[in-house]
Amino acid sequence: MHNLLPFLPGSITNVLGSIPFFLPEFYLAVLFIVVLVTDLLFGKNSEKLCRIVAWAGILLVMQRDYQQIQLLTIGGLANGHFFFGDMLLLTRTAISFKLIIDALAFALLLYFSWDDKLSAHPKGLSDLYTIVVGSIFGLHLMVMAVNLLSIYVAIEMVSIASYLMVAYRSENAFSTEAGLKYVLFGAASSAIMLYGISLLYAFTGSLNLYTGNFAGGLSVANEAASSVALVLVLVGVGFKLSFVPVHFWVPDVYEGAPTPVTAWLSTLPKITAFALLINFLMPFINYPQWHSFNFGLALSAISMITMIAGNFAAVLQSNVKRMLAYSSIGHTGFALMAIVTFNATGQSALIYYLAVYGIANIAALALATYFANVTGAENVEGYKGLGHKYPVASVCFIIVLVSLTGIPVSAGFTGKLLVFSAVYGVYQQTHSLWPLLLLITGALTTVVSLFYYIKIPLNLFLKRSENAANSTVKSYNILIFAMFVSALIVLLGIFPNIILKLF
C-alpha cells in the first residue's frame, strides 16, 4: 500500500485532466441514472417521461460530442489524445462515429414506441430506455477503446444491453429462442475473444495497443501462435460486425427480436464495431516491420465471402426482417472493403457509407413496422397490392430500398461510389489482385441485391391482393419519419458534402 502512495498524485492529475475529453460519456452516465430513477419514481406511468428525458439527454450529448472537435483543434491534438492512463483515445474519427451513433440512437428512441407489438408490453418501455442509454455509453467506450481490457469491457457492456433488448419482448417461443440464441453465441464469442486477449498479453506483456511496443513485441513471437491470438480477437469483433463465419445468429435473432431492436442491432453495434476494428488494426498497419499476419489478405477474403453469402442468402428469403438481416450481412462485407484500404480516403468513405446505411436501414425496418401495424403483413407476399392503398409509405419504402441497393441519385449510391473509389485508388497504386477482386465482388453482389430488394416494390404495386379490407390502424408517426428520411436520402445523394464536411 505504501509503495503506491508516490504514484497517487500523478494518477489523480491524470484522471482530472481526462475529464474534459470524457464529458459526453459523463453526461450519458448521469442520463442513465436519471432515466432509471424516473422509472423507479413514477412506475408504469413513467414511460412517456423517460422517453422525453432520454431524447433531451441524447441531444445534449450530441452537442458535447461536437464540442470535442473544438477541444482537439484548440489543443493542437490533430492526431488524437490518450486519456485515463492510455485506456481511451479521442480522435476526430472517433468523434465522427460518436455523432453518428447518437444521431441514430435519437431516431431509434423515437421509433421504439411506434411498434405496436413492442409498445403493448405489459411492463411498458421505461426499462428499455434505461437499457438503451446504458448501451450508448458502452458504444462510446468501444469507439475510443485502445487497451485490450477497455475493449473487452466496452464490448461486454454493449453485449449485455443487447441481450436484454432482444429478450425484452418474449410473448412467444420464437422470441424467447432468439434471445437465448443471442446470449449463447455472444457468450461463446466473448470467451474466444478473451482467450485471444490473454495470448496477446502473454506474448507482449502489454494490454495497450498504441503505447509501448505492442506490435513490435508481437512480431517477434511465434508467427503461428500470434496469428491464432489475433484471429481469436477478430472473432469477438466479428460477432458484432456479423461477418462470415460468425454470422449464424443474425437471421434468427433479427427475425425473433422486436423490429425496433432489430433496427438497433443492425446499425449501432455494427457501426461501432467498425470504429473498434480501425483502432485495433492501426498499430499493426503503421508498424513497418509487421509481417506476422496479413490483415489485408484476411479481411479481403472475409469481405468477399460475406458479401456473397449475405446477398445470395437474402434472395431466398420471404420474411422481410429475415431478408433485411441477410442484407445487413452483405452490407458488412461491403463496408469491409473500405477498411482494407488502410488509408484516410477509405476511412472517410466508410464513415459516409455507414451513416447513410444506418439511416436507410432504420427507415426500412420502420416501414416494415408500419405495414405490420396497419395490415399485419410480415412476409413479402403480404405486401401484394398495398402500394395502391398506402402510396406514401410504399413510395418511401422504394426510395429507402433504392438507397440500400446503391442506385443513383440516392445517398447509398454515393456511399458505394466512395467505397469503390477508395478501393480502386489502392488498386492503381499497388496493382494487387485483391483490390481488383473486391471491386468485382462488390459490383456483382450489388446487382444480386436488386433481386431481393425488388421483391417489395414488385408486390406493392405490380401484384394484386385478394384481401381488400381497409385497416383502422394508422401509424402516422412512422409515415412522417419515413417521408423525412426519404427526403434526406435524396438530399445526401445529391449533396454528399453535407456529411463529408461535418465528419
Helices (H) and strands (E) in the chain, counts: 23, 2
Q: How far is CA 341 from CA 9, 276, 290, 296, in A?
A: 43, 16, 17, 8
Instruction: Specify the pLDDT at position 398.
Output: 93
Where residue 124 falls (left for φ over 0; alpha for ψ -120 to 50; beta otherwise) is left
Instruction: Specify the pLDDT at position 95.
Output: 92
Instruction: Specify the pLDDT at position 472.
Output: 54
* Nearest Cα to Cα of residue 35 among 127, 163, 172, 154: 127
Cα(120)–Cα(128) distance, integer angstroms: 13
* Nearest Cα to Cα of residue 350 among 279, 415, 266, 265: 415
Q: What stretches of 75-125 show up as alpha helix (H) in DSSP? A: 92-112, 116-119
Instruction: Specify the pLDDT at position 220.
Output: 81
Write out the three cell numbers for 156.
461486454
Instruction: Specify the pLDDT at position 21.
Output: 83
Based on its alpha-carbon atoms, the radius of gyration of the chain, rounded to whole angstroms, reads: 23
Instruction: Specify the pLDDT at position 115.
Output: 80
Instruction: Specify the pLDDT at position 312.
Output: 93
* Nearest Cα to Cα of residue 483 among 395, 390, 372: 395
Encode 155-171 in three state secondary structure: HHHHHHHHHHHHCCCCC
Instruction: Specify the pLDDT at position 186.
Output: 87
Write out the three cell numbers for 58.
441524447
Residues in the chain with pLDDT values less than 50: none
Instruction: Specify the pLDDT at position 14.
Output: 63
Instruction: Specify the pLDDT at position 9.
Output: 63
